[in-house]
Structure 1
Amino acid sequence: MTVTEPAQGLDTSVRTELYRTMVLIRTFEEAILRDYHADKKPVFDIGAGLIPGEMHLSAGQEPVAAGVCAHLTTDDAITATHRPHHLAIAHGVDLRTLAAEIFGRETGLGRGRGGHMHLFDPTTHFSCSGIIAEGYPPALGQAFAFTRQGTGRIAVAVTGEGAVNQGAFHESLNLAAQWRLPVVFVVEDNDWAISVPRRASTPIASNADRAAAYGIPGERVEDNAVEAVYAAAGRAVARARAGEGPSLIEVHTLRLWGHFEGDPQTYRDDLATVAEHDPIPAYEQTLRDAGLLDDVEVARIREDATARVDDGITYAKNSPSPDPATALSAVFA
């Protein structure tokens, strides 16, 4: 099933909160973008600077995180991909410890050892991995534990459209359906698996259609529409909490920036128009037209986001780097 319509009668406070979450995510990633590139000039050096290593930012994919995580509590679990910041923020991961981990500082989620692709936060049951489709099997384990505990908690597993051809994707859907596990599978279709267009790797137009092979519901949300994501996620989450088993949601979203920072994106044929489809100004205009936002409220939301992000970034920069003498302290062998 393909979905483009928002939830009927959506509460005004929910709509403005979706916008607020999206703005906070973008503000955070714009700050990371600035600091990531600030000292990698004049020639880009991926190993240099305050934030060395690869960086995968999620600008354009905010509707997925906002729409899905609006239905979750921090008692629910979520596993994300190598592009995880939007989901971490929407799920309530603390901005200070998140930023500190990205900067590789001792006060970070993993004490600066994991970096941005290996975030782990037991307080919100959030995790991610740089391995393709890796988050799906752990979500099954979490969902199985929740079932045995009888808590009503659920797990959400997020991956990209390039990962749906991995064995882990199909094995996870099969087992979750067989055991009726309380898990929601989410596929972020941003059209590009690194540099490979989906048309070159996947023979069907909607990965949501694959749900039928496992006897579970599947929905595809078009147009990167946050309210339609919210509606689809609401149905899937309710089904999971009611003990009715898993669901699959695919969202046709958008990657505004490169696969990684420094990516020249010479493979993309949509760069000239991609900025026109930015979901944040589009949703802002929707809420303005509905009389829910005006210049004053938009400014207030942006100022609040900036203040929270500035606090997190400042905390990270002022935090100590790990002591090299502790390099082996968390190694098993």
Structure 2
Amino acid sequence: MTSTTKTRTVTIGTGTYTLEELKGAYRRMSEIRAFEDRLHIENTTGDIPGFIHLYAGEEAIAVGVCDNLEHSDYIASTHRGHGHCLAKGCGIRPMMCEIFGKDEGLCRGKGGSMHIADLSVGMLGANGIVGGGPPLVVGAALSAQYLGNSGVAVSFTGDGGSNQGLVFEAMNMAVVLNLPVIFVFENNGMGEATGAEFAVGSGDIAGRAAGFGLPATVVDGTDYFAVREAAAAAVARARAGEGPSVIEATAIRFYGHFEGDAGLYRTPEQLQAFKDSRDPLKIFRERTADVIDVAELDAIDEAATTEVDTAVAYARAAAWPAPEQVLSDVYASY
């Protein structure tokens, strides 16, 4: 690590960052962690409708990728989408309102946890269809290519979703049309309760990309800097008109597949070992220990927790959608 005091920049790995950029990245990861940890508690009250799938443990992937994107770029998410939403710029309060089913939610309370979308920030939506994101970003990338606006589109897909046929079709089409797309595979080792080493026949998600003529890289998804550097190269390639690429990011989810999952496929000892050694926030702290004071990072954590607490209180008190809205925003009018 090197630093330049005059310009207040630091070099970590192959990237150069300002201290403000580093603190911003940590803030976004901390907000995701606080959001998910609080929902883990709130879900036990029975006041949240629908299923919840928590992203804690994978924060560095969403933030590391989205920190390379412009406001106008697009992403498509999964059923485990809160982290992607926050990383792309969706607001904490309207997200919380959406999860609680309230009228001030991003989708007027009709989407819930698994279907949050905010087109104003390029978030095409969380998706209950396993592997449903890649075809969406192929469309978004085709639009960007046609308009010539240098936009890119990114899909986030789990290791389970990586086995879906429509994912392969999307990858092939992206190559055929030379689209500005990045396919990010978040390999947390478990497709629901099935280990990736069993479900992925080749044992190599990134290696499949070669079958379509796609370049691919594998990164440690718990290291923000590794993810950001890999995503920076992929985004630059896409913007330059050099076509799509694949990133496989490995990480561990800290909670069950869904809230209420007994998680019998992992022992408590295994899970604790993961949290001790593969926590993205801890790793970020270690890698920036020489340039950011611990007290500053602690203050960021406290602020994130306070903001999430405030959002929960607001969402609980917010109004429900009016009954007459049940048929609005259901069908498109052309």
TM above 0.5, one fold? yes
Deviations 1:106-148 (A, max 9, x none): 1111111110100111111211211100011011110000111
Deviations 1:198-250 (A, max 9, x none): 11111233311112111121000036211100000000000111111101000
1:113 and 2:110 correspond: yes
* Equivalent AA in structure 2 for residue 286 of structure 1: R
Correspondence 1:158-237 to 2 at 5 A? 158-222=156-220, 224-237=222-235
Q: Which has the higher contact order (CA 8 A, sep 6+)?
A: 1
* Equivalent AA in structure 2 for residue 8 of structure 1: T
Classify the secondary structure of the residue corresponding to 1:184: strand
Partner of 1:33: 40
Q: State the distance in 1 between where 2:16 and 2:303 align.
A: 24
* Equivalent AA in structure 1 for residue 275 of structure 2: A
RMSD: 1.7
1:10 and 2:11 correspond: no
1:291 and 2:288 correspond: no
Classify the secondary structure of the residue corresponding to 1:133: coil
Classify the secondary structure of the residue corresponding to 1:153: coil
Partner of 2:319: 320
Deviations 1:153-179 (A, max 9, x none): 110011001111111111011000111
Q: State the 4+ residue runs in structure 1 displaced beyond 6 angstroms.
A: none
Structure 2: any 5+ residue segments left out of the alignment? 1-11
Q: State the distance in 2 between where 1:151 and 1:318 align.
A: 42
1:36 to 1:174, Cα distance in 2 relative to 1, 3 A: same
Q: State the distance in 1 between where 2:112 and 2:221 align.
A: 32
* Equivalent AA in structure 2 for residue 165 of structure 1: N
Q: Is the 8 A contact 2:185 2:247 kept in 1?
A: yes
Partner of 2:84: 87
Partner of 2:57: 60
Report how many aligned residue pairs link the two structures.
Answer: 316
Partner of 2:147: 149
Q: Is the 8 A contact 1:139 1:157 kept in 2?
A: yes
* Equivalent AA in structure 1 for residue 74 of structure 2: A
* Equivalent AA in structure 2 for residue 131 of structure 1: I
Q: Is the 8 A contact 1:284 1:293 kept in 2?
A: no
Q: C-alpha displacement at 1:323, in angstroms?
A: 2.2
* Equivalent AA in structure 2 for residue 213 of structure 1: G
Q: C-alpha displacement at 1:102, in angstroms?
A: 0.5
* Equivalent AA in structure 1 for residue 28 of structure 2: T
1:300 to 1:19, Cα distance in 2 relative to 1, 3 A: same
Q: Pick the aligned partner of 2:68 from 71, 81, 89.
A: 71
Q: Is the 8 A contact 1:15 1:227 kept in 2?
A: no
* Equivalent AA in structure 2 for residue 287 of structure 1: T
Q: State the distance in 1 between where 2:157 and 2:327 align.
A: 31
Correspondence 1:273-288 to 2 at 5 A? 273-276=273-276, 277-288=278-289
Q: Is the 8 A contact 2:49 2:99 kept in 1?
A: no
Structure 1: any 5+ residue segments left out of the alignment? 1-5, 40-48
Structure 1 stretch displaced more, 276-285 or 54-63 = 276-285
Q: State the distance in 2 between where 1:223 and 1:154 align.
A: 21
- State the TM-score, normalizing by the size of structure 1: 0.90
Q: State the distance in 1 between where 2:179 and 2:205 align.
A: 20
Matched-pair identity in %: 39
Classify the secondary structure of the residue corresponding to 1:158: strand
Classify the secondary structure of the residue corresponding to 2:76: strand
* Equivalent AA in structure 1 for residue 282 of structure 2: P
Q: C-alpha displacement at 1:94, in angstroms?
A: 1.3
Q: State the distance in 2 between where 1:153 and 1:120 align.
A: 19
Q: Pick the aligned partner of 1:130 from 107, 128, 131.
A: 128
